Structure 1
């Protein structure tokens, strides 16, 4: 499972606390026992075979069933046990409206036997993780969700266009900066918003795509790109004179963050999380 999540043996080493040869040996033993080739590895990179995909899907179902069994037995005893996996988009910790930490604190008081695991990724990947039952819930923008996913709004995050201090636009006065000038510069875009574009992105020259906000901040700081960042996240660099907001009235927008979870998930830990989040945000 860890090898698939990390897309290879080397990347899975830290999670498993095993070196690559040991992981490779265990995989070979598993393939021998199953009499199946589960993955291709080598210079071309890691990739599951068709048999590997089926075994991985079955293994996920097995672990999910075991977890459900543990939870059901504990429920009979009036307890909540097991693990609760929560996904979240990056750079939320500096947002004053982000209440997940206090929710986790209260959750720990009410369900001390449940271990909470946090996972950071972009909205597109988090939605896939939800659908594949790798996580139970996620704090994320929901652009388009299938009927199997429930979600509700929790807060808005203000997104502002920035440039770095070495960018040609940085030294311009506000009355010198125009949308025409902005549209001539290289724009660092978020790859998971390709089906949705904030104003005035349709007119910007996309020169780099990434799914990580910290990567966008790095590109902006290079002085070669402009891009959107959450206002709370960029505050440090703005105060330090390393970034400058651009045309806030024309380009800034609010991104709605939501709590998303599987509609038919009967996990009591998920139900408690949802209840606590709704209480925290007055939903």
Structure 2
């Protein structure tokens, strides 16, 4: 059995992926930065990134140039875990689509990500016309929900239960690609599988939505030089004005 999480190729086959590093509290010049894992997987894991964001200079490059002596540690975790770690000062800054607002934290809007509702090849609805698919039909099917949102992303049309709950997009993609489940994925994540004929979106105008992404940090730590440096770098990389000190 593989020892770590699995990556999926566009044809649905799997390949072993190395374990990612976990965040740890650090002192001195170490900068602790996290980016949420579930809604925006690495391009190599899901096969495609957002070209508009990829064209921008990464914040980690700006931060590295501004303070080459500072160590930067990156962590990928579900949004609820990121909020807990930022609140506990185990992380300095996090970026994600967060399910709730935590007291004592500052939030800064960065961008929105298009989410669509997908079916996999082999699913009974894969070849069905969107006009023939109504909410009653969807309620009768097994749907993938996101654990960190309490499956609120699918409760609008799931009748009595969610067919599966996941904590990351790779798991959601695996279930949807199996042809046994329906569920939401970021459009850029699903694009390679759509091109390969392995996924199809269902009624994008009706079921698609835009997920807001934010940067979050602890209010009482914003003036630490390393934290302020990364906050400003992330804001610049997304074309946003740097938050006032």
- TM bucket (normalised to shorter chain) is 0.7 to 0.9
Report the Cα offset of residue 200 of structure 1: 3.1
Higher relative CO (Cα under 8 Å, sequence separation at least 6) belongs to 2
The one-character-per-residue Cα deviations of 1:133-177 (angstroms, maximum 9, x if unpaired) are 211111111232223110110000111110100100001123322
CA RMSD of aligned residues (A): 2.5
- Number of matched pairs: 211
Task: Find 1:187's aligned residue among 138, 143, 159.
Answer: 143
Report the Cα offset of residue 106 of structure 1: 1.3
Report the Cα offset of residue 249 of structure 1: 1.4
Aligned partners of 1:97 and 1:260: how far apart in 2?
22
- Taking structure 1 as reference, are residues 282 and 243 closer, same or farther at Cα in structure 2, changes over 3 Å only? same
1:282 counterpart residue number: 240
1:44 counterpart residue number: none
TM-score (normalised: structure 1): 0.68
Equivalences for 1:5-84 in 2 at 5 Å? 67=27, 70=28, 82-84=29-31
SS in 2 for 1:206: coil
Moved more, 99-108 or 124-133: 99-108
Structure number with higher helix proportion: 1
Q: Give the gaps of 5 or more residues in structure 1.
A: 1-12, 17-59, 71-81
Aligned partners of 2:160 and 2:52: how far apart in 1?
30
TM-score (normalised: structure 2): 0.78
The one-character-per-residue Cα deviations of 1:18-52 (angstroms, maximum 9, x if unpaired) are xxxxxxxxxxxxxxxxxxxxxxxxxxxxxxxxxxx
1:209 matched to 2:177: no
The one-character-per-residue Cα deviations of 1:77-108 (angstroms, maximum 9, x if unpaired) are xxxxx211111122154123446861111111
1:269 matched to 2:226: yes
Task: Find 2:112's aligned residue among 156, 165, 169.
Answer: 156
